[in-house]
Amino acid sequence: MKGKMLTKQTNQKIFSILTASLVILYTNAFQYNVDLSKRLASYSLVSYCSHNRLQDWSCGEACQRVEPLKDLIIYTNQNDSSYMMGYDQQENAISIIVKGTNPWCIDDWESDLTTEKIDYPKCESCQVHKVFYQTLLDMQEQLKKDFLKIRSQHPQSKIYATGQSLGGALATLIVPEIYLLNGKKPIDAFYTFGSPRVGNLQFSFWYTSKSYFSKISARVTSNKDIVAQLPPRSFPFLYMHIGHEVFYKNFSNLHEFIMCEIPEDQECSNQYTLDFSMKDHGSYFGWNWAFDIFTC
Ligand SMILES: *[C@@H]1O[C@H](CO)[C@@H](O)[C@H](O)[C@H]1NC(C)=O
Ligand SMILES: *[C@@H]1O[C@H](CO)[C@@H](O)[C@H](O)[C@H]1NC(C)=O
């Protein structure tokens, strides 16, 4: 009882400090581009499909929703995390789509999504989820090569980054790397869908205040999506989301959503504290993610 109250007070204090500071630090107005968000979500769904089907863009329903990417590069590590990047002709953009482990293939989220943190060297006292960070380190060299290669093919294009679920978490760590590789110029858009939390308070604060990693960005959430609630922000886990949130109750009208400027806002997905849903994790944009992924 006592411990609980303490946690609550600490959290409230943390949130009020964070809120006050962020109001000062935010320079960019929070904009959300529904069409672009949907487009990047559709590429995120495609990224789950088998790679030989992606080469000729024949991955069923998922591939029919969106045009093939040109100059496609796909990299997969030994633990089946991967990214793909390619040139989106319609948008004149290099799109980087990050995929984590298939969330519907994880039998036991409790044990697979451990909560252990590790130091994150880019900012002071920052810690991030250990497995996400190790995956980043594992991919980093290849990511650099691949990005510089496609950048040299499309030096003037825009740059987008995206990912769903664990891919969203990994994309969150990849974006600052791309920012550096891009000569410390912000990328053009960064949208995640149902991303878990990635790091601690300091990481959230650092990341969110550096909104210049990307010109526009949002963490899109779907109603009671359980993955967006993991790892917990409560004691002893103390994880915190980053950045702006765009919260959908449902996707019957894509233009009906709530925008929350700061992380962990009670108006958005934090309004739920108990009843979470895996179904909502696979409902982004009204598609049946679990089905589409198993059939592609
Ligand atoms: C792959 O997963 C295993 C078991 O979780 C882990 O020990 C290893 O470090 C991971 N390797 C990479 C490259 O992420
Ligand atoms: C969808 O969400 C909106 C609020 O964003 C709500 O008004 C509407 O009733 C919901 N529709 C369904 C079918 O749940």
Token duo for residue 175: 């974006």
Q: Which residues pair with 78 in a beta bridge?
A: none
The enclosing domain of 24 has a CATH number of 3.40.50.1820
Q: What's the 134 CA to ligand 1 centre distance in angstroms? A: 8
| pLDDT for position 142 | 97
Q: Distance between CA atoms of 12 and 280, rounded to whole angstroms?
A: 27
Query: Is 77 close to ligand 1, i.e. is its CB under 6 Å away?
Result: yes
Tell which atom from ligand 1 comes closest to the C-alpha of 78: 13
Nearest CA to ligand 2 atom 1: 250
Query: Is 118 close to ligand 1, i.e. is its CB under 6 Å away?
Result: no
Q: What's the 254 CA to ligand 2 centre distance in angstroms? A: 11
| pLDDT for position 110 | 56
For residues 187 and 117, the answer to whether their CB atoms sit within 8 Å is no
The low-confidence residues of the chain, meaning pLDDT below 70, are: 1-28, 106-113, 211
| pLDDT for position 211 | 66
Q: Distance between CA atoms of 37 and 185, rounded to whole angstroms?
A: 21
Nearest CA to ligand 1 atom 1: 79
Tell which atom from ligand 2 comes closest to the C-alpha of 256: 5
Query: Is 250 close to ligand 1, i.e. is its CB under 6 Å away?
Result: no
Residue of 220, 222, 224, 249 best suited for mutating to test ligand 2, as the one with most atoms within 8 Å of CB: 249
Query: Is 78 close to ligand 1, i.e. is its CB under 6 Å away?
Result: yes
**Of residues 135, 195, 131, 140, the one with CA closest to residue 166:** 195
Task: Please report which ligand is nearest the Cα atom of 251.
Answer: 2
Total domains present in the chain: 1
Q: What's the 167 CA to ligand 1 centre distance in angstroms? A: 16
Q: Distance between CA atoms of 269 and 220, rounded to whole angstroms?
A: 10
Q: What's the 248 CA to ligand 2 centre distance in angstroms? A: 9
**Is 65 exposed, middle or buried, given 0-12, 13-18 or 19+ CB atoms closer than 10 A?**
middle
Q: Distance between CA atoms of 112 and 120, rounded to whole angstroms?
A: 21
Radius of gyration of the chain (CA): 18
Predicted confidence (pLDDT) per residue in 240-279, tens digit:
999 999 999 999 999 999 999 989 999 999 999 888 899 9
Crossing angle between the packed helical segments 166-181 and 130-153, to the nearest 10 degrees: 50
Contacts of 144 by beta carbon, 8 Å cutoff, 6+ apart: 177, 181
Token duo for residue 64: 């029919």
Q: What's the 159 CA to ligand 1 centre distance in angstroms? A: 29
| pLDDT for position 27 | 44
| pLDDT for position 20 | 47
Q: What's the 292 CA to ligand 1 centre distance in angstroms? A: 27
Q: Distance between CA atoms of 267 and 168, rounded to whole angstroms?
A: 21
**Is 119 exposed, middle or buried, given 0-12, 13-18 or 19+ CB atoms closer than 10 A?**
exposed
Q: What's the 62 CA to ligand 1 centre distance in angstroms? A: 29
Structural domain boundaries enclosing 37: 2-294
